[in-house]
Structure 1
């Protein structure tokens, strides 16, 4: 299938719905700043593989555009409401859904995890057989919302500015993505709670028969690989020093999840060939580089001004949502989030920890002066991760709570597929072929792998 075969006028909703014969409901959730039409290739791939008598497709519509600023839990409540409404509609029309799949892209990966927790707590999953959760590149178009949060662990003042400013330009969603929120006065950020083994979110997620991740290893301008793929290391920091092992039949795009890379035999340092290639690349792209240098300062100012407006609008929507005046009764979804009562609150100093991170990898010594602000529990967490560090791939300088989240989420048995897209530097959009562009053609290989190897009907 090529991009030219897809008509520009096609919208995702053309492929949604199904007949009363379908017993499997697949919910497809878009990302930050997104809308259902961003998922048109995903839903068309589903519909090409399965007829309306086999698969019923739902694209939630209430949490789109600037509404995604309003927080992960409000987005999850809206999606949960639409799922329940659709199930009642299908039943009223004589249908009977017995199987459920959820596909979340970008922020939709976190929103759908929250919605799954609510469905579990409300007993909806007891009547259904959860099948597949496929999450394509859990990042967003510009500010990434991966499973581990988006606080940068890299060195330098620019990362501190990113962490402080980024968390405050996306209203409640920004605070939750940068894990500076105090969710329901628990003393913990929402993403940490969503990875707690005793939470409704982990209990609900564990009931799905298959849980799959696809994550870009390069050119995703929004998020590093490690946080997209729930990993402590990033073997792809220097792509020139590794050779790739691909899944047979999906070469040059989908990497082997068990043994994705091996050391390259290429000599270190700059060779005459690489110097020539790099020089030609810079010469060819000089006009584009110059344009970007001029455009970026203007874009940043425009983004910050827009953020002020969107934060004010989001605050108003949140007030309406909480008061029950936005078409949904939030009280129906404010269920206990823990399956068991917490014995104590975790007191992690997230702001201080992040400010103290001055290196890309964990320091080799337990006496690192940057850990002076941490409590004893956090210091023990980092000491444990140092002892377990991989000899070839050093452990990244993540925060203690991020290591805890990785260990807890990995216990669910994810099937993780690294993806290497080369034809377009906007790989976040290319991985789901979000636009009808020839340079996004590699994304069709990802779609093919997902539908043939991972999706369970």
Structure 2
């Protein structure tokens, strides 16, 4: 009989292109470099039941879907006469939130009664949502109110616009509550770690990916890696920042600083919007109209899928809210479009947040709402290892951090994944 350490990899949200191949590089590195010396074996499995537009269906629904996959994999091991004795889960982007939900379901079902939870790791995960912190900026407030509608159920949960249970809290807030099964499940893992970009990942910027009340790296505004002052973990420099030492934003870029005067500020704001509009115009035939149309269509499809999902008694989730890869021409095109989509989103944030400060002590502080503050406070009681990361060779840092696909500009992501495999992932 063989004892297995089951390792689950959960990919994130990326519209029609979101799929398990995004985690192929991490999978390969784990299989090739992690060798248990106690006679047990590592079994690495990438989930796929939430691929593509299914990510629209919600963190909860997709959490239940991957729970079913985990149980199926566990059962297959048992049918072969072996057993799963240890369990780890690694989530990327939205996959980190889906993973947090799934382990709550597993705990409720008694999965961890005989299986030891070891590693819980997230890469670039918006733990407290993706809504922008409070601001008087009209375009930001408009974005926060409109964007959720294009991402169906998941969008509402991302932006904390949903309500679950009789207490009417957003799902992400409830998942951070010490009385919830999701918090209790996370608490059981021996090692909890996260990786967070410090630059050019504004959809999943520092305050949410690192679960922080502050933003010392000015991640909402800064887009130049050279403006980050930090020391690095030996052997992984200059990509994995040593969080035990001071790291912060410090204006060093020779690029023109915005906001020096109202006239110059208006000029740069207009220039940013012109750049954004020009970029959208170029890619509109592929992404523009199709995105709006598909968002409407997929919202209808999502409602139909959810109606069918909730019609099955085994998919009742209400009890959880109680206190207690092959390369092809199409693949290459899809990867390019994914990266361009990431870049356009970054440009949107840049256009909205045009006023940048001159010094590390003078940039606008972030202001989280009470729900976000609550989630940060409670999640930080769990004892995370936090690893700030910085990529300089690409602006698509959200994708580059895990080497989402083969791209020479993602070479620094290999350093980050190497750090994870060699230092963070534990067997005991």
TM-score of Structure 1 vs Structure 2, range by shorter chain: 0.7 to 0.9
Query: Contact 2:124/2:204 (CA < 8 Å) preserved in 1?
Result: no
Hey, what does 1:40 align to over in structure 2? 24
TM-score calculated relative to the size of structure 1: 0.74
Cα deviations across residues 130-171 of structure 1 (Å, max 9, x unaligned)?
Answer: 110110111xxxxxxx11111112441211221111111111
| Secondary structure of the structure 2 residue equivalent to 1:167 | helix
Match for residue 367 of structure 1?
none
Mapped partners of 2:415, 2:409: distance in 1: 13
1:255 aligns with 2:250: no
Question: What TM-score, normalized to structure 2?
Answer: 0.79
Note if contact 1:155-1:359 (Cα within 8 Å) is conserved in structure 2.
Answer: no
How far apart, in 2, do the equivalents of 1:266 and 1:436 lie?
31
* Matching residue within 254, 279, 282 for 1:295: 282
Larger Rg: 1
Q: Which has the higher helix share?
A: 2
| Pick aligned residue for 1:75 from 62, 66, 86 | 62
Match of 2:298 in 1: 310
Asked if the contact 2:130/2:203 (under 8 Å) is kept, the reply is no
Work out the CA distance in 2 between the residues paired with 1:267 and 1:444. 26
Structure 1 residue 441: deviation in Å? 0.5
Q: Residue 280 of structure 2 contacts residue 288 of structure 2 at CA under 8 Å; is this kept in 1?
A: no
Aligned residue for 1:113, secondary structure, equals helix
Match of 2:404 in 1: 434
Corresponding position: 1:148 with 2:128: yes
Q: Give the drift of 1:337.
A: 2.7
CA distance in 2, matches of 1:339, 1:393: 40
In the alignment, the residues of structure 1 paired with residue 33 and residue 375 of structure 2 have an alpha-carbon distance, to the nearest angstrom, of 35
Residues 1:173 and 2:154 aligned together: yes
Superposition deviation, residue 391 in structure 1: 8.3
Equivalent residue of 1:211, what SS?
A: strand
Alignment of 1:446-457 (within 5 A): 446-457=416-427
- Whole-Å separation in 2 of the counterparts to 1:241 and 1:434: 25
Distance across 1 between alignment mates of 2:309 and 2:81 = 32
Q: Which residue of 1 aligns with 2:269?
A: none
Q: Is the 8 A contact 2:196 2:205 kept in 1?
A: no
Residue 62 in structure 1 maps to residue 49 in structure 2: yes
Compute the RMSD of aligned alpha carbons: 2.8
| TM-superposed deviation, 1:394 | 7.1
Per the TM alignment, residue 297 of structure 1 is displaced from its structure 2 partner at its CA by 6.1
Tell me, what secondary structure is at the counterpart of 2:165?
helix
Deviation for aligned residue 1:244: 1.2
d(CA) in 2 for partners of 1:447, 1:399 = 33
Unpaired segments ≥5 residues, structure 1: 1-19, 139-145, 272-287, 341-357, 361-389
Q: Identify which range, 208-217 or 391-400, moves more after superposition.
A: 391-400
Say whether the 8 Å CA contact 2:34–2:421 is kept in structure 1: no
CA distance in 1, matches of 2:22, 2:58: 20
Q: Is the 8 A contact 2:197 2:388 kept in 1?
A: yes
Q: Distance in 1 between matches of 2:86 and 2:161?
A: 36
Identify the residue that residue 227 of structure 1 maps to in structure 2.
208
Distance 2:368 2:79 in 1: 49
Q: Output the CA distance in 2 between the equivalents of 1:43 and 1:307.
A: 31
Report the count of equivalent residues: 366
**Residues 245, 69 of structure 1: alpha-carbon distance in 2 compared, 3 angstrom cutoff:** same
In structure 1, what is the equivalent of residue 366 of structure 2? Answer: 396
* Stretches of structure 2 lacking an aligned partner (at least 5 in a row): 258-274, 325-351, 355-359
Q: Is the 8 A contact 1:359 1:397 kept in 2?
A: no
